[in-house]
Structure 1
Amino acid sequence: MIMKNFLRITGGAMLSCGVALSAMAQESEPVYGGTLDVGFISDVRTLNPLQSTQWTERQILFLMFDRLVDLNPDFSLRPGLAKSWEFEDDGKRVVLHLEEGVSFHDGTPFNAEAVKWNLDTRLDPDAGSSQRKQLEAVIESVEVVDEHTVAINMIEPYPPLLALFTDRAGLMASPAAAETYGEDVGMHPVGTGPFKFEEWTRGSELSVVRNEEFWQEGMPYLDRVEFNNIASNVIGIQRMTIGEIDYIGHLTPLDTKLADASPDIKLVQSDGGQWYSLQMNYGQEPYNNHELRKAIAYGIDRDRINEILWEGQGTVSNGFTPEGLWWTPSGLPDYSYDPDRARQILKDAGLEGTTLSLASPSGDALRRFSELVKESLDQIGLNVQLAPVPQSEYYAKTVSGEINFTPMRWTQRADPDGLIQYLFSSEGTANSTGYSNEQVDAWIDEARTTSDQAVREDLYQKVQVQIVEDLPYIPVGFATEFSALRTEVHGYTPMPDLIPRFRYFWLSEE
Structure 2
Amino acid sequence: MMRALAAALVAASLALPAGAQTLRIGIGADPNMLDPARSGAFVDRVVFTALCDRLVDVAPDLSFRPELATAWAWEDGGRTLRLTLREDGRFHDGTRLDAEAVRVNLERYRTAPESVRKAELRPVSAVEAPDARTVLIRLSEPYAPLLSVLSDRSGMIMSPTALARLGARISEEPVCSGPFRLTRRVPQERIEMERVPEHWNAANIHVQRVVMLPIPDSNVRLLNLRAGQLDLIERVAPSDVEEARRERRIAITDSTAIAYQTIYINVASGGLRDPRVREALERSIDRNVVNQVAMQGMFVPNNQPEPPGTAYHFADLPSPPRDVEAAKRLLRAAGAPSPEFTLLTPNSPVESQVAEIIQSMAAEAGFRVRIVTMEAAAIVARSNAGQYDAAFGIWSGRADPDGNIALWVASDGFLNRMGYRNPAVDAAFLAGRQSTDPAVRRAQYHAAAAGWLADRPMLILYHYRWFWGMRAGLSGFEPAPDGLIRFSGLRF
TM-score w.r.t. the length of structure 1 is 0.86
Q: Alpha carbons of 1:330 and 1:437: their partners in 2 closer, same or farther (altered >3 Å)?
A: same
Distance 2:349 2:268 in 1: 29
SS in 2 for 1:86: strand
Structure 1 partner of 2:359 = 374
Instruction: Identify if the C-alpha distance between structure 1 residues 200 and 505 changes in structure 2 by more than 3 Å, giving closer, same or farther.
Output: farther
1:47 corresponds to 2:31: no
SS at match of 2:42: coil
Instruction: Give the match for residue 372 of structure 2.
Output: 387
Compute the displacement of 1:505 (Å).
Answer: 5.5
- 1:39-438 equivalences in 2 (<5 Å): 39-42=26-29, 44-124=31-111, 126-136=112-122, 138-272=123-257, 274-332=259-317, 334-391=319-376, 394-395=379-380, 398-399=383-384, 401=386, 404-438=389-423
CA 1:220–1:112 in structure 2 vs 1: closer, same or farther (change >3 Å)? same
Query: Which aligned segments of 4 or more residues in structure 1 are displaced greater than 6 angstroms?
Result: none
SS at match of 1:445: helix
Q: 1:506 corresponds to which residue?
A: 490
1:78 CA displacement = 1.7
- Is the CA contact (8 Å cut-off) linking 2:23 and 2:210 kept in structure 1? yes
Task: Provide the aligned length of Structure 1 versus Structure 2.
Answer: 474
Distance change in 2, residues 1:254/1:119 (3 Å): same
Change (3 A) 1:402 1:498: farther
Residue 156 of structure 1 aligns to which amino acid in structure 2? E
What is the alpha-carbon distance in structure 1 between the residues aligned to residue 488 and residue 385 of structure 2? 36
Shift of 1:93: 1.6
Q: Which moved more, 1:323-332 or 1:349-358?
A: 349-358
Supply the distance in 1 between the matched residues of 2:168 and 2:299 (Cα, whole angstroms).
Answer: 42
- Name the SS for the 2:81 alignment partner: strand
Shift, 1:252, TM fit:
4.0
Q: Percent identity?
A: 28
Q: Which amino acid aligns with 1:152?
A: I
Cα distance in 2 between the residues matched to 1:442 and 1:198? 48
- Looking at structure 2, the residues matched to 505 and 233 of structure 1 have their Cα atoms a distance apart, in angstroms, of 26
Equivalent pair of 2:234/2:467 in contact (CA under 8 Å): yes
Question: Residue type of the partner of 1:300?
Answer: I
**Which deviates further from its counterpart, 145-154 or 417-426?**
417-426
Moved more, 261-270 or 58-67: 261-270
CA shift for structure 1 position 171? 1.0
Q: What does residue 25 of structure 1 align with?
A: none
State the match for 2:11 in structure 1: none
**Cα-to-partner distance string for 1:308-341 (whole Å, 9 max, x where unaligned):** 1232343322322222222221322642212233
SS at match of 1:251: coil
Gaps of 5+ in 1: 1-31
Q: Measured at CA, do residues 108 and 192 of structure 1 come closer, stay the same or move farther in structure 2, by a change above 3 Å?
A: same
| Contact 2:291–2:298 (8 Å) recurs in 1 | yes
1:353-387 CA distance string (max 9 Å, x none): 44422222133433332232233233433332222
Instruction: Report deviation, 1:68.
Output: 0.6
Give the unaligned 5+ runs of structure 2.
1-18
Rounded Cα–Cα distance in structure 2 between residues aligned with 1:52 and 1:427:
20
Is the CA contact (8 Å cut-off) linking 2:42 and 2:396 kept in structure 1? no
Alpha-carbon shift at residue 393 of structure 1 (Å): 5.4
Distance change in 2, residues 1:207/1:356 (3 Å): farther
Q: Residues of 2 paired with 1:300 and 1:78: CA distance?
A: 39
